[in-house]
């Protein structure tokens, strides 16, 4: 069952398959016995090819370990007419890979033909489940590390105070002054430890406040921040989640979009290094925002456009004067110097906005010493 199979199944008057073929969730239209009559592009990409032996997909192909549980849900929907939503099942794909799927099942009945079909909408939430587990483990480790910072500072400073006090009782003032000088050096080191504890506490609060994730990689923090800015810009342009499927919260994005965003951030990192810059934690809100030179803006904008175009071409997109996402046609898949000025300025503005976007998650761009990256 390839991507060309988008014909409306016979005997149904439900939603148009043309519309369903463009959504990022995978959509199946099933016969009551669990045979797949139609599947959309997202499902076909997820499964990666034809059903075994060239047969039609069915529930037992898709959920070999849990097919009866899924069929029970389908029978329940057929019998009651009530949709089942938010159902989460671990499933096993054709290649043996385990996934966690959240799906909704609903019945469509045609009274005139006395027939019914089942619509199954499924979303791969494996990444979300795994991230939840990582949150618990990583955040627990952060708590332990911060506690150790505090304990270490107390253990060192308390006896040091006693030593300094005893120095006042020494008759040999030269020895006492040497001891006090050493004590001041040690106290400076302890102060640095305290500052580290404070910074760690700030980092923990930042992570908790903005994303509720424990020690997530900085790449993901930046990807989330860029995605939030993208959603805000699309809202200003009048777009909605219904007209633009990429306007979902980060945790609800399909894996392919998350991976695309993370690849973009990785390339931003590499691009920063080419202009001798990097990203660091910012704990001072009064610090002025970083500003690129105009030549840096032009360089980074062109680089980002070329990377975007290469990724699109790799995925089968082609140039066309009229954009058509369903057919993978885009009017901007052309070299930078041929791009209309209005489109180039959009890319430049995206680069200029990066310092402010990073500041929202307490990160900043810094210039490195020559050769320090």
CATH of residue 53: 3.30.450.20
Same domain, 164 and 235: no
Same domain, 248 and 289: yes
Pairing between β-strand 26-30 and β-strand 36-39 as defined by DSSP bridges: antiparallel
- Give the residue from 308, 225, 223, 309 showing the smallest Cα distance to 266: 223
* 317 located within any domain: yes
Same domain, 236 and 345: yes
Question: Once rounded to an integer, what is the mean pLDDT over residues 56-82?
Answer: 80
Full domain range(s) for residue 204 = 129-210
Same domain, 112 and 205: no
Task: Give the predicted TM-score (pTM) of the model.
Answer: 0.44
Query: How does the average pLDDT of the chain come out, rounded?
Result: 74
Q: How confident is the model at residue 23 (pLDDT cuts 50, 70, 90)?
A: confident
pLDDT tens across 323-336, in order? 887 888 999 999 99
Same domain, 115 and 242: no
Same domain, 75 and 105: yes
Domain end, chosen from 149, 182, 210, is at 210
Same domain, 361 and 231: yes
Same domain, 321 and 226: yes
Number of domains in the chain: 3
Q: How confident is the model at residue 214 (pLDDT cuts 50, 70, 90)?
A: very low
Instruction: Decide: residue 147, CB within 10 A, 0-12 exposed, 13-18 middle, 19+ buried.
Output: exposed
Residue 191, pLDDT > 80, answer: no
Same domain, 26 and 109: yes
Give me the percent of the chain exceeding a pLDDT of 70. Answer: 64
Domain end, chosen from 210, 226, 260, is at 210
Residue 174, pLDDT > 50, answer: yes
Token digits of residue 194: 């305290």
* 320 located within any domain: yes
* 9 located within any domain: no
Residue 320, pLDDT > 90, answer: yes
- Of 23-32, 47-56, 306-315, 337-346, least confident by mean pLDDT is 47-56
* 372 located within any domain: no
Contacts of residue 265, defined as CB under 8 A and 6 or more positions apart, other chains included, come to 219, 220, 222, 223, 226
- CA geometry: angle at 152 spanning 150 and 156, to 5°? 120
Same domain, 276 and 146: no
Q: Could you give the CA distance from residue 51 to residue 29 in angstroms, rounded to a whole number? A: 15
Question: Once rounded to an integer, what is the mean pLDDT over residues 341-368?
Answer: 88
Same domain, 101 and 44: yes
- Of 126-135, 145-154, 166-175, 342-351, least confident by mean pLDDT is 145-154
Same domain, 58 and 95: yes
pLDDT at position 243 is 77
Pairing between β-strand 84-92 and β-strand 98-110 as defined by DSSP bridges: antiparallel
pLDDT at position 336 is 96
Q: Could you give the CA distance from residue 109 to residue 118 in angstroms, rounded to a whole number? A: 9
């Amino acid at each position: 069952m390839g991507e060309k199979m988008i014909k409306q199944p016979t005997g149904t008057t439900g939603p148009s398959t043309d519309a369903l073929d463009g959504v990022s969730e995978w959509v199946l239209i099933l016969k009551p016995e669990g045979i797949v009559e139609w599947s959309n592009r997202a499902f076909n990409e997820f499964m990666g090819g034809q059903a075994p032996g060239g047969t039609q997909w069915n529930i037992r192909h898709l959920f070999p370990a849990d097919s009866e549980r899924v069929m029970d849900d389908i029978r329940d929907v057929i019998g009651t007419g009530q949709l089942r939503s938010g159902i989460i099942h671990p499933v096993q794909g054709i290649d043996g890979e385990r996934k966690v799927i959240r799906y909704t099942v609903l019945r469509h009945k045609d009274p005139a033909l006395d027939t019914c079909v089942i619509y199954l909408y499924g979303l791969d939430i494996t990444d979300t489940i795994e991230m939840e587990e990582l949150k618990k483990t990583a955040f627990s480790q952060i708590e332990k590390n911060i506690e150790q910072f505090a304990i270490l500072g107390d253990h060192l400073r308390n006896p040091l105070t006693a030593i300094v006090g005893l120095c006042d009782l020494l008759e040999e003032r030269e020895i006492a002054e040497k001891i006090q000088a050493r004590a001041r050096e040690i106290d400076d080191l302890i102060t640095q430890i305290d500052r580290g504890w404070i910074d760690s506490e700030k980092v923990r609060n930042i992570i908790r406040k903005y994303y509720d994730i424990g020690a997530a990689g900085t790449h993901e923090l930046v990807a989330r921040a860029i995605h939030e800015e993208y959603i805000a810009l699309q809202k200003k342009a009048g777009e909605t989640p219904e007209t633009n499927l990429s306007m979902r919260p980060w945790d609800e994005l399909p894996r392919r979009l998350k991976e695309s965003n993370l690849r973009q951030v990785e390339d931003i990192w590499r691009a920063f290094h080419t202009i001798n810059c990097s990203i660091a934690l910012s704990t001072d809100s009064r610090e002025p925002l970083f500003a690129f030179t105009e030549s840096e803006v032009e360089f980074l904008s062109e680089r980002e456009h070329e990377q975007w175009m290469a990724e699109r071409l790799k995925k089968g997109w082609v140039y066309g004067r009229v954009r058509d996402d369903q057919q993978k046609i885009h009017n901007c898949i052309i070299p930078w110097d041929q791009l209309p000025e209005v489109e180039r300025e959009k890319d430049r503005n995206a680069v200029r906005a990066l310092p402010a976007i990073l500041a929202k998650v307490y990160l900043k761009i810094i210039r490195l010493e020559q050769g320090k990256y």
